[in-house]
Amino acid sequence: MSNSIPFIRLEDIKSSYEKHGFFAIKDFIPQSLIREAEVFIKKLFATVSHKGETIDETVIRLNKENSHQLYLIYQTISRSIEIDQLRVQLKKAMDTIYPNLLHIELGAGLLFGIPGDERISYDWHQEIHYHQELENVIHFWLPVIHDATMDNGTMSVLDGSNNRGKLPFKKKEKAVPNSVTNLVIQNIDHLKIENQELFAIAKPGDLVGLHSYIVHRSNKNPSSNKVRFIISCRIAAINHCPSTFDFSVKE
C-alpha cells in the first residue's frame, strides 16, 4: 500500500527514525516468542471467558460489562515473563539508534482496539508530552493475535512531523472516567495537509518504532467482531538518572 509505513532493514532504521519519525522492520521478533506471548494472553483471558467465547468476544464483553476486569488483565499481561522476553528483543533497535546511552523501559502493555469503542484509543498526539523530562524515547509497537490492518483501525502517523518539535496541545476531556488521557495536538488539519498520513500495516513479529515527537493516533476499529491487539513498549535512552518516574499527566 502506498499509504502504509514501509519496511526497512535494521541498519537503516536510524536515518528513517530521524527523517520520518518512524521505522518498521518485518519479522523482527522471533515467531517462537510471539507464540509464547499469545499463549499467555489467551490463557489469561480464558480464565474470565464464557463457554464458547473467542478471545475477541471476551474482550468486547468485558469492555461493556466489566472494564475494571479488563484493566486488571492489562496490568497482569504487562508483568508477564512472556512480555519481558519481547522487550529484550528491542535492545538491538535501541543499540542501533542510541548506541552510547543507557536504556530503561518506561512502560509496556497490551493495547486493545475494540470495535466501535474509543474509550481506550488515542487521538492525534506526541509521546513527548507524556514524559517531558525524557527526550530520547522510542515507542515500540507490535501486533499479536491478529494482523494490524485498516480493517481493525490500525495506528497512523504523520510522516516527518517529528521535525516540527514539540507542538501545542490541548487536554481532551475524558468521555468517561476510566478512559485514557488524550493530549490532542492543535491545528491538526493543517499538519495533515503538509505531512502525509501513513498507516501501520503489520503482522505478528513485525516491529514499528516511533520517535517521541511524531504525531500519531490509534484509529477507530470499524470491524464488528475483531479486536486489535498491540503490545506497546516505551524505552528511553538516558545519560543521567531521571528525577521522577511519575509520568502521570498533570492538570
Map out the domains of the chain as residue ranges: 10-238
For the chain, 251 residues long, give each residue's pLDDT as a single digit of tens. Answer: 679 999 999 999 999 999 999 999 999 999 999 999 999 999 999 999 999 999 999 999 999 999 999 999 999 999 999 999 999 999 999 999 999 999 999 989 999 999 988 776 788 999 999 888 899 999 999 999 999 999 999 999 999 999 999 999 988 765 545 555 678 899 899 999 999 999 999 999 999 999 999 999 999 999 999 999 999 999 999 999 998 888 765 54
Contact between 17 and 136 (Cβ < 8 Å): no
Packing angle of the helix pair 67-78, 55-65 (nearest 10 deg) = 130
DSSP state of 228: E
Q: Shortest CA distance to 80 belongs to which of 37, 111, 42, 33?
A: 37
Which pTM value belongs to this model? Answer: 0.92
Range 185-189, long-range pairs (CB < 8 A, 24+ positions): 185/124, 185/125, 185/126, 185/215, 188/124, 188/215
Grid coordinates of 78? 504487562
Grid coordinates of 142? 507490535
Region label for 93, one of left (φ > 0), alpha (ψ between -120 and 50) or beta (otherwise): alpha
CATH architecture label of 10-238:
Sandwich (2.60)
Contact between 44 and 73 (Cβ < 8 Å): yes
Greatest distance between any 2 Cα atoms in the chain? 52
Q: What is the pLDDT of residue 197?
A: 97
